[in-house]
Structure 1
């Protein structure tokens, strides 16, 4: 083995534990926080919640299996069932994650639309139906992978023939990248147009009904909320595209190079190292989604802080300083309750006759 091959192999063996353990730790926090936050009333969006669950499934089937192979023998090269089922489950989880993000974008388009017919598609029962159809569809479509994935030498890979040589990569590229990304980009433009139309209508209504200060304050809050929704959508689409492109490049190369049979050992090592580089990148979006939302949305940050406060003991946030409490005081002369701090007040009569009106320590206040 040449020095280049040895160097790449050593880098891969040394860096793999740090990369995958970091992705598993950060990804677990990210997916768990997304599931908790998007289940709350303010951010209750069905597609996003399903996407967070799919992200966690993707990390579990991908990262945990990679960590296992670092310390033990890879079961995918010894068990045909595990080889087939693992790849089937990964394709299912990846596609659920991608298409749930795309449907979340369409849900926001319907929610921001002023058209009653389009707006009705953002209801909860519609989201349940769409999610059910999406899950059933992606349980069926990856079934061919159970036939062409098999153990080939020292690895579990797709056994290509003339039928599957181009079917699998084209299927993944079209259904996993081109269509979802196109939906995200088109949805971003549609949401922007809907928000612009809403803003114009609000301005016309406010000029007829509200005062200038109230109108400006309301418009600023609504514009801020609209910008955050659009900004989250754009950042989400950009992050997804950036995390998917390296894998698509490798998939395209492997499809073209599959017909090459006389590969040198050094080229095989370089190809395995390239796969080692792109495989963790495809987990970056599930791992970083929560942190992306926190950085881009102040509403999301506030809801996250409220969630943390609800999980921690309330005594940590209570003010234990009892010196500033306001206690009601009963006047002994007419039994009236006076709400106020315990300070001594004097009436006009007391000022004129200070010797006759001395407040008792029990009441603290004399009112006549």
Structure 2
């Protein structure tokens, strides 16, 4: 009886870990493509709010495709990292950190843009223009890429299982303690 319950539980877990990520990837990709089509339409092409939404959608799509597919592959195929591609480890970790930050920034800019466009002051309304949105976007992109660049150098592949040659992408032990001290300590 217990063995039958364990078999049923394992079957449900295997089914869930196989099909739920695939469903998420398909539905998320379709939703992002619909958003891209909508926000890049002729009517919205010169709207700064739509531009910020478009940027956010693009970064969400990159995050969804890259992180979900690579996670799915490493979950389903244990030896996905068996050759030790250090560049894959660093790039995946970096993109999984950077893309949500960029997406969140552009959602914040959308809110700020809506506030500026409804302001009583003409001076403030002038900031809600497409050329300002381009400048803000480029500046933000460069700033986020540079400010999170330490993540690219912090992670490396370490051998998890010597017998099966299974690797995992983790922060270097000597850098992890330094990073924790930097991020946890606050001035009194």
User: Same-fold call, TM > 0.5?
Assistant: yes
Match of 2:21 in 1: 20
Structure 2 stretches lacking a partner, 5+ long: 161-166
SS of residue matched to 1:121 = coil
CA gap of 1:38–1:76, structure 2 versus 1, over 3 A, is: farther
Separation in 1, partners of 2:36, 2:134: 16
Encode CA deviations 1:112-164: one digit per residue, 9 max, x unaligned.
11211110110110000000001111211121112221123242122343211
Q: Is the 8 A contact 1:150 1:158 kept in 2?
A: yes
SS of residue matched to 2:62 = helix
SS of residue matched to 1:103 = helix
Give TM-score scaled by structure 2 length.
Answer: 0.77
Q: Is the 8 A contact 2:55 2:106 kept in 1?
A: yes
Match of 1:57 in 2: 62
Residue correspondence of structure 1 range 73-152 to structure 2 within 5 A: 73-75=79-81, 78-152=84-158
Q: Is the 8 A contact 1:77 1:83 kept in 2?
A: no
Encode CA deviations 1:31-51: one digit per residue, 9 max, x unaligned.
001011011244442111100
Structure 1 stretches lacking a partner, 5+ long: 171-368
Q: Is the 8 A contact 2:36 2:57 kept in 1?
A: yes
Separation in 2, partners of 1:166, 1:82: 27
Q: Is the 8 A contact 1:50 1:97 kept in 2?
A: yes
CA gap of 1:159–1:110, structure 2 versus 1, over 3 A, is: same
Match of 1:289 in 2: none
CA gap of 1:106–1:76, structure 2 versus 1, over 3 A, is: farther
Match of 2:171 in 1: 158
Q: Is the 8 A contact 2:81 2:168 kept in 1?
A: no
Match of 1:35 in 2: 36
SS of residue matched to 1:163 = helix
SS of residue matched to 1:113 = coil
Moved >6 Å (runs of 4+): none
In our comparison, the structure showing a higher alpha carbon Rg is 1
Give TM-score scaled by structure 1 length.
Answer: 0.41
Residue correspondence of structure 1 range 1-368 to structure 2 within 5 A: 10=10, 12-43=13-44, 44=47, 45-72=50-77, 73-75=79-81, 78-152=84-158, 153=160, 154-160=167-173, 161-167=176-182
CA RMSD of aligned residues (A): 2.5
Q: Is the 8 A contact 1:77 1:155 kept in 2?
A: no
With 33-42 and 159-168 compared, the bigger mean Cα shift is at: 159-168
Q: Is the 8 A contact 2:29 2:65 kept in 1?
A: no
